[in-house]
Structure 1
Amino acid sequence: MTRSLHVSRALYSDAQRYLAGGVSSDARRVAGVPLYVDRAEGARLWDVDGNSYLDYVLGQGPALLGHCPPAVVEAITAQAARGMVYSAQHAAEVRVAERICAMVPSAERVRFNTVGSEAVHAALRLARGYTGRSRILKFEGHYHGWLDPVLYSVHPAVDAAGPADSPIAVPGTAGQQPGHADDLIICPWNDLDALTRLMDRHAGQIAAVITEPVLCNTGAIRPDPGYLEAMRRLCDEHGILLIFDEIITGFRLAPGGAQEYLGVMPDLSVFGKAMAGGMQVSALAGRAAVMDHISTGKIAHAGTFNSQPVGIAAAEATLRVLDERREEVYGTLYARGSALMEGLRAAADKAGVPMLVDGPGPVFQTYFTGAPAVRDYRGFAATDRAMMAGLHAALLDRGVNIVPRGLWFLSTAHTEADIAATVDAFADALGAL
């Protein structure tokens, strides 16, 4: 199948004259013409050429309730008429912070930001200020925003990344300050022996361990049983703060995020994406004993658009639905996700294609591999990512939009009929490949 892309091609031609690289984010670089969306509603997108797509990108995850959910649209519209930026406090931010503290197991205090990278930066600064230490332990394959201090060893070339059990810090871009790598310790994910060894080696130096509790920026990889529990214990033994980067998992896997889903409590957490239905709101939350070091004025945290009222209105409307209708919302997400995963597995088996379909359900990954599991970045890197790019293009031509690396997000707007249509399109795409 071939989509009509006449208008999209013309727009892309113009974009290359005025936008660096023709796009506004490197995540939107694709082979050929990028997707130019005209509008979105529910589980669907329509592009500028009139093509319709079942959408499993959902704005990289935020549209948990589907695109333009009426309650959120109504809240945004009402607040925009009352004011879009105050640079002052307002009642809604207090209500949203209170609801987050009620929903998220580890949250006793909250500070708002605009995007996830800012919230991560705030968490790391707070951890360093609280502990008086400078070093951060992060995991290979984990993404914590595009700012210089943490953009290391996300998807490095394996031949440049060092030994599997002792990776080196590989910068994610030219232009990073080389000294930032000195403050990072890179650890393989799901390797408790390596984690224990590195913590012992750098005892008294590490301010925080930061992790995606379910690794969603490199596949959709759950922690091994007992792994996060051991990480929590090791952090306590060494006086290290544990930070969960729940930008993707927060409010998607459970009302209280991955920490509720997995039953492990961090000291600090960062949230974004799904908390405001797509509006630009992020949050740093955590234990009062740590968070209150911001309120003393010792540790700076500021921003003109922090708790911006239109975004907070969207967060209030979204979190009310997720909290007060939790059984309906999460029952639907897990049921639809499970059905889609089973359908994709069956289609791949029928086509004789070695494929792994894995993840919690509200978010999951498809991998071209004969391996029975993918447990870390090196396992992900060994899958056939070029074939996955081909699948992404074939699915777009058949009206299904997924994250190019093979990640799928579900929303409450996806219906059983949508799932069936997606499985049919997937089977056809595999045949074309």
Structure 2
Amino acid sequence: MDHPTSGPKAAEAYERARKVIAGGVSSDARRSAGVPLFVDHAAGAELWDVDGRRFLDYVLGQGPGLLGHASPLVADAVAAQARRGVAYAAQHELEAEVAERLCAMVPCAELVRFNSVGSEAVHGAIRLARGHTGRTVIIKFEGNYHGWLDPVLYSVHPDLAAAGDARHPAAVGGSAGLPPNGAADLIVLPYNDLDALAEIFADRGDTIAAVIMEPILCNTGCITPDPEFAAGARSLTTEHGALLIFDEIITGFRVAPGGGQEVIGVTPDLATFGKAMAGGMQVSALVGRRDVMDTISNGTVAHAGTFNSHPVAMAAANAVLTELHDQADRLYPALRQTGRSLMDGLRQIAGRHGVPLLVDGPGPVFQTYITDRSEVRDYRDFAGCDRSAMARLHELLYAGGVNIVPRGLWFLSTAHTEAQVAETLDVAEAAFARL
């Protein structure tokens, strides 16, 4: 039986929130055309809303729940540390343990600095790149999201009329209130277009501080870059003395123990991590080459924060990363297989109902597109998909008790079972029949 769109307790909670919280939600990502989801509790691959409705969850906190909700491993680590102290504004041994684990797992990690959220870590990476190189220009790609702070909130999902030429897109601001000249030192390029990147380096190579990119583009579909594009970005930045930054806030530890850089076989100079590294606790990390990170070590580039290496968050990260490292051979193949089984099932169901569905991604995270395209390689391809039909599919799945990211992104956890995948596919069967 379909779930109702929202229950009376959720509606009441939303009305209460709207009186004291701007827009009724604390992040724009939680906005909804109707009443947003109000969660009462969650466990494993399931969550329950305030009206008692159960959902199979493929959002997982927008990705952090790699081990599932309320993982006993995380809960025990957090509880134990909270009893020892919550915030010190001083050093403690856990942060070195977590940093050692990061350096052991991540190809580019030689030194580490911690923050609380992904946007902070990315901001630190960009400042560090500029401080280290003495240059100002940053290259980013259409469709890539690097946080909500001013320097990078451009051309995430821009209106194509404003974005202009696909080969030389305009930098389109993502919010009112950005500085009038905020994009003066930002160049926006199409993802997966090595010729466009090479052209810019040939013209302005001595001004470019860094190229920043998602090594697997998860904020616009789930796009693995062409091998030539990723390797070419590495080669061009090295040749011209610029830095290559990978934003691994989503891909880090989710797609492999070493993140997206392990999967695509390209090692950047700097990388940022968050989400899955602490099982839902608020921690992010900036990691990179020793000589680059030493620009922070020697005080040339400032990096600070009251809650950096927060002891409780570090306890969670230590527990999660230890588990992912020690159990990698058991956890990751099973996680990929679960994801691929779900992907294959969705393809088969869509085919039976005549829905043109493209399913793409490595398995631990994947995207469903409604499109006749055989592949999606960049933001312009993504924008050409039937996003209104995808929104309708999201509504039908949600009504049936399956929670996914509205734009069609699915996150898997180690807690998802074969039975839950089968239940999900039953809901999908009914959704595609109505779509």
Displacement of 1:225: 2.4
Aligned residues: 433
Letter in 2 for 1:248: I
Partner of 1:239: 241
Displacement of 1:13: 1.3
Partner of residue 359 from structure 1, selected from 358, 361, 365: 361
- The 8 Å contact of residues 227 and 264 in structure 2, kept in 1 or not, is answered as no
What is the CA–CA distance in structure 2 between the aligned matches of 1:69 and 1:330, rounded to whole Å?
A: 17
Displacement of 1:179: 1.3
Indicate the SS of the match to 2:285.
Answer: strand
Partner of 2:429: 427
- The 8 Å contact of residues 275 and 284 in structure 2, kept in 1 or not, is answered as yes
Partner of 2:395: 393
Indicate the SS of the match to 1:171.
Answer: coil
Partner of 1:413: 415
Aligned positions of 1:138-217 closer than 5 A: 138-217=140-219
Partner of residue 115 from structure 1, selected from 114, 117, 136: 117
What is the CA–CA distance in structure 1 between the aligned matches of 2:32 and 2:257, rounded to whole Å?
A: 34
Partner of residue 61 from structure 2, selected from 59, 63, 66: 59
Partner of 1:282: 284
TM-score by length of 2: 0.99
What is the CA–CA distance in structure 2 between the aligned matches of 1:139 and 1:71, rounded to whole Å?
A: 37
Partner of 1:45: 47
Q: Does 1:135 align with 2:137?
A: yes
What is the CA–CA distance in structure 2 between the aligned matches of 1:404 and 1:98, rounded to whole Å?
A: 36
Displacement of 1:348: 0.3
Indicate the SS of the match to 1:204.
Answer: helix
Letter in 2 for 1:423: L
Partner of residue 20 from structure 1, selected from 9, 22, 45: 22
Q: Does 1:225 align with 2:253?
A: no
What is the CA–CA distance in structure 2 between the aligned matches of 1:201 and 1:117, rounded to whole Å?
A: 30
What is the CA–CA distance in structure 2 between the aligned matches of 1:363 and 1:301, rounded to whole Å?
A: 31
Partner of 1:102: 104
Displacement of 1:212: 0.2
Partner of 1:262: 264
What is the CA–CA distance in structure 1 between the aligned matches of 2:408 and 2:175, rounded to whole Å?
A: 23
Q: Deviations over 1:376-417 (max 9, x none)?
A: 000000111111111111111111000000000000000001
What is the CA–CA distance in structure 2 between the aligned matches of 1:261 and 1:354, rounded to whole Å?
A: 28
What is the CA–CA distance in structure 2 between the aligned matches of 1:395 and 1:13, rounded to whole Å?
A: 25
Q: Deviations over 1:180-202 (max 9, x none)?
A: 11010001000111111111121
Partner of residue 82 from structure 2, selected from 80, 85, 88: 80
After TM superposition, the structure 1 stretch with the greater mean CA deviation from structure 2, 24-33 or 274-283, is 24-33
Displacement of 1:17: 1.4
What is the CA–CA distance in structure 2 between the aligned matches of 1:72 and 1:361, rounded to whole Å?
A: 23
What is the CA–CA distance in structure 1 between the aligned matches of 2:227 and 2:318, rounded to whole Å?
A: 34
Letter in 2 for 1:160: A
Partner of 1:344: 346
Letter in 2 for 1:335: Q
Q: Deviations over 1:255-291 (max 9, x none)?
A: 0101111110000000000000000000000000100
What is the CA–CA distance in structure 2 between the aligned matches of 1:95 and 1:71, rounded to whole Å?
A: 17
TM-score by length of 1: 0.99
Alignment gaps of 5+ in structure 2: none
What is the CA–CA distance in structure 1 between the aligned matches of 2:229 and 2:163, rounded to whole Å?
A: 23
Partner of 2:32: 30
Partner of 2:309: 307
Q: Deviations over 1:201-244 (max 9, x none)?
A: 21211100000000000000010122111110011111110000
- The 8 Å contact of residues 397 and 427 in structure 2, kept in 1 or not, is answered as yes
Letter in 2 for 1:373: E
Letter in 1 for 2:231: E
What is the CA–CA distance in structure 1 between the aligned matches of 2:401 and 2:3, rounded to whole Å?
A: 10
Partner of 1:293: 295
What is the aligned-residue identity percentage?
63
Indicate the SS of the match to 2:373.
Answer: coil
- Measured on the aligned residues, the alpha-carbon RMSD in Å equals 0.7
Partner of residue 378 from structure 2, selected from 367, 376, 379: 376
In the TM superposition, structure 1's runs of 4+ consecutive aligned residues that sit over 4 Å from their partners are none
What is the CA–CA distance in structure 2 between the aligned matches of 1:12 and 1:384, rounded to whole Å?
A: 30
Indicate the SS of the match to 2:217.
Answer: coil
What is the CA–CA distance in structure 1 between the aligned matches of 2:300 and 2:213, rounded to whole Å?
A: 25
What is the CA–CA distance in structure 2 between the aligned matches of 1:263 and 1:92, rounded to whole Å?
A: 30
